[in-house]
Structure 1
Amino acid sequence: MNDTQRALSDLTERYCDAWRRHNGCGPYSEALLGIPSPCTVSQDERGVFWLPQPFSIRPGLDAVERAIDIQLQEDAQNFYSTQFAGDMQVSLDGRAITLLQTWSEDDFRRVQENLIGHLVMQRRLKQTPTVFLATTEDDMEIVSLSNLTGEVILEKPGTAQRIILAPTLALFLSLLVPIVC
């Protein structure tokens, strides 16, 4: 395991532990009801209880790299192919963030398609490439990994506005605080 994989695994463990302490069970999602995943532990009429599972397919974002002829940061590769899990609600310095995760093999293919679209848009706008990692409460902002520097940034897609949140993805993940409802 490298630093990014270890930090993501540690965050996921902290997230699941926070759910158990607060709710007496693992993470729960209404949004994922009815979507097959190896993460599903059980479900009720409103949602699914889930736990992370090892990534079971060939790791990496090769399809993205081939589609737009780019080499992505190793941290981006590791972030999206360390585990299957539900998205995680976290905060950084009081800012609510939804950390994106791949839920299943089908979801991994969808994520790659969305990454291709994101990178193609940036290329058309002559912006430096980023790989999205999370959403925020502001629909106009996302958290991304700079493909040039490896920094984690807050960006407004389609604009040049970028704020550095952490110098590395591993550090960013280690700073996140789970939010449990």
Structure 2
Amino acid sequence: MIEQTPQALNDFTRRYCDSWQQQAGHAPASRDLHGIPSPCIVATREDEVWWLPQPFTLPQNLDAVERALDIHLQPAVVAFYTAQFAGDMAGTYDGKPLSLVQVWSEEDFTRVQENLIGHLVMKRRLKHSPTLFIATTESELEVVSVCNLSGEVIIEQLGTQKKQVIAPSLENFLNSLQPLTLAD
């Protein structure tokens, strides 16, 4: 399944970039990433950057996370976070809007790993099953995560045991994810 995850992410990224090109006439744009260096930047405007995905140039592992918590991570999640450099991408899954978390640069990869460690530490303190977030939702209290035990994709309410399985695998989730269009 490790090979299918990067391919599914690549397919979604292509659909996302194509949607931007068709609707806006240029690569995906981000105001949030303006002024933050990245190999993804193809143009800088007054208040936004245009970006395209770039190959991941670091070792393809999340060893810092695994060492920090003495845990073995789902290979699909490792493959997801080490497949490419890209901006976060808006999409919908079963009609629910979300933002797929991506690694923007080599420096950002350190931040993402620190955030994953913090999330896993919180889960451990609460005696909850370990999960790894992959997307944010409109609610600050909900994230889309992968269950590290089963590999299922879930929507979980932070700080609680409330969760809902939405896909049997990360690959399935990415294949069903639809780019959020500019008109939406």
Partners of 1:94 and 1:46 lie apart in 2 by 30
* SS, match of residue 117 in structure 1: helix
In the alignment, structure 1 segments of 5+ residues that lack a partner are: none
Partners of 1:110 and 1:134 lie apart in 2 by 15
What is the percentage of aligned positions where both structures have the same residue?
55
Extract structure 1 runs of 4+ deviating beyond 3 A.
Answer: none
* Cα deviations by residue, 1:146-180 (Å, 9 ceiling, x for unpaired): 00000000001111011001000000001111013
Question: Does residue 178 in structure 1 map to residue 179 in structure 2?
Answer: yes
* Cα deviations by residue, 1:15-68 (Å, 9 ceiling, x for unpaired): 000000111111000000000000000111110000000000111110000011
Instruction: Determine the structure 2 residue equivalent to 1:138.
Output: 139
Structure 2 length-normalised TM: 0.97
Map 1:59-138 → 2, pairs under 5 A: 59-138=60-139
State the number of aligned residues.
181
Structure 1 length-normalised TM: 0.99
Partners of 1:126 and 1:139 lie apart in 2 by 21
Partners of 2:168 and 2:61 lie apart in 1 by 22
Please report the RMSD computed on the Cα atoms of aligned residues, expressed in angstroms. 0.8
* Cα deviations by residue, 1:108-138 (Å, 9 ceiling, x for unpaired): 0000000001000110110000000000011
Instruction: Determine the structure 2 residue equivalent to 1:42.
Output: 43
Instruction: Determine the structure 2 residue equivalent to 1:26.
Output: 27
In the alignment, structure 2 segments of 5+ residues that lack a partner are: none
Partners of 2:23 and 2:94 lie apart in 1 by 21
Partners of 1:92 and 1:180 lie apart in 2 by 13
Instruction: Determine the structure 2 residue equivalent to 1:153.
Output: 154
How far 1:93 moved relative to its partner? 1.4
Partners of 1:174 and 1:164 lie apart in 2 by 16
* SS, match of residue 56 in structure 1: coil
Partners of 2:63 and 2:166 lie apart in 1 by 27
* SS, match of residue 46 in structure 1: coil
Partners of 1:20 and 1:45 lie apart in 2 by 20
Partners of 1:68 and 1:95 lie apart in 2 by 32
Output the amino acid matched with 2:118.
Answer: G
Partners of 1:131 and 1:170 lie apart in 2 by 15
